[in-house]
A = this chain, B = another copy of it.
Amino acid sequence: MSGRKFSLGLDYGTNSVRTVLVDVANGEEIATDVHEYETGEGGIILDPSDHNLARQNPADYLKGLQDSLKEVLSQARKADKDFDPEQIIGIGVDTTGSTPIPVGNDGTPLAMLDEFRDNPNAHAWLWKDHTGHAEAGEITQLAEKEHPEYLAKCGGTYSSEWFFSKILHCLRTDPKVFDAAYTWVEHADYMTALLTGTTDPRKLKRCRCAAGHKAMVNANWGGYPAKDFLAKLDPKLRQLRETLGDKTYAIDQKAGDLTEEWAGKLGLKAGIPVAMGAFDAHLGGVGSGISIGKLVKIIGTSTCDMAVWPADKDLADVPGICGIVDGSILPGFWGLEAGQSAVGDIFNWFVNYIQPGGKAVGSHEALTEKAAKLKPGQSGLLALDWNNGNRTILVDQRLTGLLLGQTLHTTPEEIYRALIEATAYGALTIINRFEEYGVKISEVINCGGIAEKNPLIMQIYADVIGREMKIARSAQTCALGSAIAGAVVAGSVAGGYDNYADAQAAMCGMKDTIYKPIPENNKVYQQLYPLYKQLHDAFGLGSFSGKMANVMKQLLQIKDSVKA
């Protein structure tokens, strides 16, 4: 056994769980495994008659944990012949969210009971489940009237993706499930409770990240929303509120120690400290080296855009972002979360649903190659990136896509590029919103598959956003962030770190490639963006900065100027 110390990061994503074993000294990932969930389509339980529904089977989370750990330990032994599980000093966990799970009196997910095994409502309500959109509207309306402060910290609108929208929708549409649930537990909290033997709802520790960003928890009003407020939505929510407690735990806190039982199942040493959970994007921010002035964009099917701001400095309530929560990303900082409801999913829609030119001609690779040859503005096309609604800054999941400027000669690659550009405009809109409220963004760090693999998209982002695009070194920034959380709860005594700054300095890094704005492209995008903003405000807010008729004509003028 060498002197190396390792931390284990578990990252529960939308379709799979990734597990990494990281060298605490330098962030080296010595073993990585990706385990796909087994239930449903790509791990998601769908309803063909209701596109809003997206659920997961909690049993997949457990199976994934065990299979993945076995693989990672086996890889670790191959990578380092001296490797011993005893060298693992901490465990961190991140998950998607808000992904609440209804659990029984003893903390068992209802989906694991025979009675509810086939009922999607008894399963985990995945972050992208939008069945509660009517309830979200109801919660927003009531909060606007009675507790506007609840909304101020989460962008001004309560989303259908969030905790209470989902629970209230279950209460309204499947009271049998609601009544059978003792309480509802976020996926992240369920995992840390399981590993530390605290699934009993009376012992459960709930993480600050999920509670603050998705459940209107804030120290100003002593935690979760008031009982009377929830009771006005439905009297039964008063009772639910009782089960939630008032205390939540930030990311630098320990959830507990690994139990004998799970140590045995996983082949680990009992007693390893387990950090409080957090959402994948927040720990992805940590793993990407987030700090003041650095926006971390985690680009996948959707994006999360993360920023931090010192907790002891003034910060306005930024309208339209998904939350401002003390300690949700880094202790001692406000964690600010924003995001786009679909990015990669829009490109996937075009390739998989529209299938331009058929499967061979219309692949991402083929379209990217052709789209790369187009100049900004050349197609005369302009799109809105709302095929899955708009998370930030409009917080409206029911918005839809728009494509404008088609002629009889418009090609698939032109549309593909217009969709990429639309997501870049959406990204710029978020950055502008941060800066309008004083959160200066001087640097953009990207991570996720698209950031790593698609230079065209990154170059367009640099050109549209007018800032350098950097790429985080790790391909698994969320899991790395979890491992960092594990190293911090272990502390320096155990060979870890006593604070995040030290841990990030040692364990994070950037790739060498930096995408810099090309001035002539940026110049065209500076003409195009105001047109996007005009459509954005007209269709998103009903407000206009000019005549809509100009949008089509100005696009053609830009097209002509690009040609010349």
* Residue A493 at the chain B interface, CB threshold 8 Å: no
Q: Which residues of B contact A360 (CB under 8 A)?
A: 358
By the criterion CB–CB under 8 Å, are B407 and A388 in contact?
yes
Given the interface pairs A541-B549, A548-B548, the reply to whether A408 lies near B346 with Cβ below 8 Å is: yes
- Which residue in B355, B411, B551 is a CB contact (below 8 Å) of A412? B355
* Residue A527 at the chain B interface, CB threshold 8 Å: no
Q: How far is A403 from B410 in the complex, measured between Cα atoms in Å?
A: 13
Q: Report the minimal beta-carbon distance from A312 to chain B, rounded to whole angstroms.
A: 39
Q: How far is A342 from B553 in the complex, measured between Cα atoms in Å?
A: 19
* Residue A539 at the chain B interface, CB threshold 8 Å: yes
- Which residue in B356, B408, B547, B556 is a CB contact (below 8 Å) of A542? B547
* Residue A514 at the chain B interface, CB threshold 8 Å: no
Q: Which residues of B contact A356 (CB under 8 A)?
A: 354-356
Q: Which residues of B contact A550 (CB under 8 A)?
A: 542
Q: Which residues of B contact A542 (CB under 8 A)?
A: 547-550
Q: How far is A29 from B406 in the complex, measured between Cα atoms in Å?
A: 40
Q: How far is A388 from B405 in the complex, measured between Cα atoms in Å?
A: 10
A334-351 vs B, Cβ < 8 Å mask (1 yes, 0 no)? 000000001001101100
Given the interface pairs A407-B51, A547-B542, the reply to whether A399 lies near B357 with Cβ below 8 Å is: no
Q: How far is A348 from B410 in the complex, measured between Cα atoms in Å?
A: 12
Determine the interface band of chain A, counting residues with CB < 8 A from chain B: 35 or more
- Which residue in B401, B404, B411, B541 is a CB contact (below 8 Å) of A401? B404
Q: How far is A556 from B130 in the complex, measured between Cα atoms in Å?
A: 14
Given the interface pairs A542-B547, A542-B549, the reply to whether A401 lies near B412 with Cβ below 8 Å is: no
Q: How far is A342 from B415 in the complex, measured between Cα atoms in Å?
A: 20
Q: Which residues of B contact A399 (CB under 8 A)?
A: 552
By the criterion CB–CB under 8 Å, are A549 and B540 in contact?
yes
> In this complex, what residue of B is CB-closest to A402?
B404
A388-419 vs B, Cβ < 8 Å mask (1 yes, 0 no)? 10000000001111111111111110010000
By the criterion CB–CB under 8 Å, are A404 and B400 in contact?
yes
> In this complex, what residue of B is CB-closest to A394?
B549
Q: How far is A550 from B355 in the complex, measured between Cα atoms in Å?
A: 30
Q: Which residues of B contact A353 (CB under 8 A)?
A: 408-412
* Residue A359 at the chain B interface, CB threshold 8 Å: yes
By the criterion CB–CB under 8 Å, are A400 and B556 in contact?
yes
- Which residue in B401, B412, B547 is a CB contact (below 8 Å) of A407? B401
By the criterion CB–CB under 8 Å, are A403 and B400 in contact?
no
By the criterion CB–CB under 8 Å, are B408 and A349 in contact?
yes
> In this complex, what residue of B is CB-closest to A550?
B542
Q: Which residues of B contact A499 (CB under 8 A)?
A: none
Q: How far is A261 from B405 in the complex, measured between Cα atoms in Å?
A: 51
* Residue A361 at the chain B interface, CB threshold 8 Å: yes
By the criterion CB–CB under 8 Å, are B406 and A401 in contact?
yes
Q: Which residues of B contact A548 (CB under 8 A)?
A: 538-539, 542, 544, 548
Q: Which residues of B contact A342 (CB under 8 A)?
A: 408
> In this complex, what residue of B is CB-closest to A360?
B358
Q: How far is A124 from B92 in the complex, measured between Cα atoms in Å?
A: 74
Q: Report the minimal beta-carbon distance from A47 to chain B, rounded to whole angstroms.
A: 12
Q: Which residues of B contact A349 (CB under 8 A)?
A: 406-410
Q: Which residues of B contact A358 (CB under 8 A)?
A: 355, 357-362
Q: Which residues of B contact A555 (CB under 8 A)?
A: 400
* Residue A87 at the chain B interface, CB threshold 8 Å: no
Q: Could you name 24 residue pairs across A and B whose Cβ atoms are closer than 8 Å?
A: A345-B408, A348-B408, A349-B406, A353-B408, A353-B410, A353-B412, A354-B356, A354-B415, A355-B356, A355-B361, A355-B412, A356-B356, A357-B358, A358-B362, A398-B556, A400-B406, A401-B410, A402-B402, A402-B403, A538-B548, A540-B549, A542-B548, A542-B550, A544-B544
List of 6 A-B pairs having minimum Cβ-Cβ separation, nearest first: A358-B358, A401-B406, A542-B549, A542-B547, A538-B548, A355-B357
What is A's interface to B at a CB cutoff of 8 Å? 51, 342, 345-346, 348-349, 353-362, 380, 387-388, 398-412, 415, 538-542, 544, 547-553, 555-556
Beyond the given A342-B408, A355-B412, please list 12 additional residue pairs across the A-B interface where CB-CB is below 8 A. Answer: A51-B407, A345-B408, A349-B408, A349-B410, A353-B409, A357-B358, A358-B360, A400-B555, A401-B405, A539-B551, A542-B549, A544-B544
